[in-house]
Amino acid sequence: MAATATSTLQIATARSCMSSPRKLVKAGAAVLGTSSKQLSWSKLASSSSVSSVQPLQRSFMKSSVRSCKVATKAMAESGDTKPAPGLPIDLRGKRAFIAGVADDNGYGWAIAKSLAAAGAEILVGTWVPALNIFESSLRRGKFDESRVLPDGSLMEITKVYPLDAVYDKMEDVPEDVKTNKRYAGSTNWTVQEVAESVKQDFGSIDILVHSLANGPEVTKPLLETSRNGYLAALSASSYSYISLLKHFLPIMNQGGSSISLTYIASERIIPGYGGGMSSAKAALESDTRVLAFEAGRRRKIRVNTISAGPLRSRAAKAIGFIDTMIDYSSANAPLQKELSADEVGNAAAFLVSPLASAITGAVIYVDNGLNAMGVGVDSPIFKDLDIPKAEH
């Protein structure tokens, strides 16, 4: 288990910070007003292992603190000091497998960071064609700035597994995929094989995260979506979660937790989010309730899904209008601000922690409240109404 990430996680609000040429300081110190001179820099070195289990040593580089908006941050307290006041999220001694991490700017990465900040050991599953780039970026330190945790240390990824969650076992893989050069050099990447590899390497896990979605025809209206495109969206975006939980459930410790990511298009019309993706998200939410019952009865595993608002991630840009959706959300949500990936990560950390021990089968909205709105208040039809706006 990762002993260096022994921290408890509390939810705090990080105020806007201005650019500084100083070395990157602890997020906790930045919020609490601690001088950077008081900080110990001995903890700012970490390592990350990839599929070959070769430790990747990276020294912490000087970096400027970017200007950041008011956002919820995960605050870490040293496990060696007295217990933090309040209700800390403590995941020390827990191991998490996060499926669907291929870069450092999506929800999967943010969830990994929040879990790591709370003390969990992190394993990730990366789509096979993206594996080499992801591992190379880790080795070269490209993600080091993004790996910084609230206490100033770097998130450690104990191991990266190649994964294609569209296939349950190798017999299901078409020959053209097996021989595809993007899969060359990788083995044991079907869901069944990855679960077996994790069992051989670590024995068990406590947390399973599904951060996967793909719709090859997502830009097409539903009436123009082909059968193959529709079924492909459901296979990659919803059935993949059933498969992951089915194969990982036997190695999940009782009392563990599993979460997935969904979107409001499951229950509301979002023009442009096509290709069967809205249907896939609706299926994912329905499956969450059934899986909560079955996994709960079998192994006392809690199953929930987070309905996250729009994020300007690389994956979301494939939809083609993500910037418009972010602007719409900022204009119409009760909380007029851009959603940060950290906020979804922190919600995930809460859901998999003992603090959420009675929550299962739920859809948790983390979208600045946009799901509660019945109309778009930025519509010209409401121009004469005195609609309150956010104070700046």
The residues pairing with 71 across neighbouring beta strands, listed in sequence order, are 14
pLDDT at 322: 82
Can you say how many angstroms the Cα of residue 162 is from the centroid of all Cα atoms in its chain? 17
From 281, 307, 313, 353, active-site residue: 281
Could you give the maximum distance between any two Cα atoms of the chain, in Å?
65
Q: Which amino acid is at 218?
A: V
* Six token digits for residue 72: 């919820």
Numbers of helices and strands, H then E, in the chain = 10, 11
Q: What is the pLDDT of residue 71?
A: 37
Compute the half-sphere exposure of residue 298: CA atoms within 13 Å on the CB side of its CA.
16
CB 36 within 8 A of CB 23: yes
pLDDT at 82: 63
Would you state the pLDDT for residue 390?
75
281 part of the active site:
yes
**How many Å apart are CA 170 and CA 193, to the nearest integer?**
8
Q: Is the pTM of this model over 0.85?
A: no
Position 297 scores a pLDDT of 98
Phi, psi (deg, nearest 5) at residue 280: -65, -40
pLDDT given for residue 74 in this prediction: 42
248/252 Cα distance (integer angstroms): 6
Contacts of 240 (CB under 8 A, 6+ apart): 99, 165, 166, 191, 210, 212
What pLDDT score does 113 carry? 98
7 is catalytic: no
Query: Minimal CA–CA distance to 203: which of 252, 268, 254, 239?
Result: 252
Q: How distant, in Å, are the alpha carbons of 99, 108, 122 from that of 56? A: 21, 21, 15
Q: Can you tell me whether residue 56 is helix, strand or coil?
A: strand
How far apart are alpha carbons 113 and 147 in whole angstroms?
7
| Short-list 370, 133, 349, 122, CA closest to 257 | 349
For 46, 53, 112, 158, 167, the CA distances from 50, given in Å and listed in that order, are 14, 5, 15, 7, 22
Plot region of 152 (φ>0 → left; ψ -120 to 50 → alpha; else → beta): left
As given in the structure block, the two tokens for residue 198 are: 């994790």
> In this structure, how many other beta carbons lie within 10 angstroms of the beta carbon of residue 13?
10
Q: What is the pLDDT of residue 161?
A: 98
Give, for all 392 residues of the chain, the pLDDT tens digit. 444 444 555 544 343 333 443 333 333 333 333 333 333 333 323 333 333 333 333 443 434 434 343 333 443 444 455 666 778 899 999 999 999 999 999 999 999 999 999 999 999 999 999 999 999 999 999 999 999 999 999 999 999 999 999 999 999 999 999 999 999 989 999 999 999 999 999 999 999 999 999 999 999 999 999 999 999 999 999 999 999 999 999 999 999 999 999 999 999 999 999 999 999 999 999 999 999 999 999 999 999 999 999 887 766 666 767 888 888 898 899 999 999 999 999 999 999 999 999 999 999 999 999 999 998 888 887 877 877 777 76
**Phi and psi of 121, rounded to 5°?**
-85, 140
- Considering only CA atoms, which of 161, 139, 71, 84 is closest in space to residue 110? 71
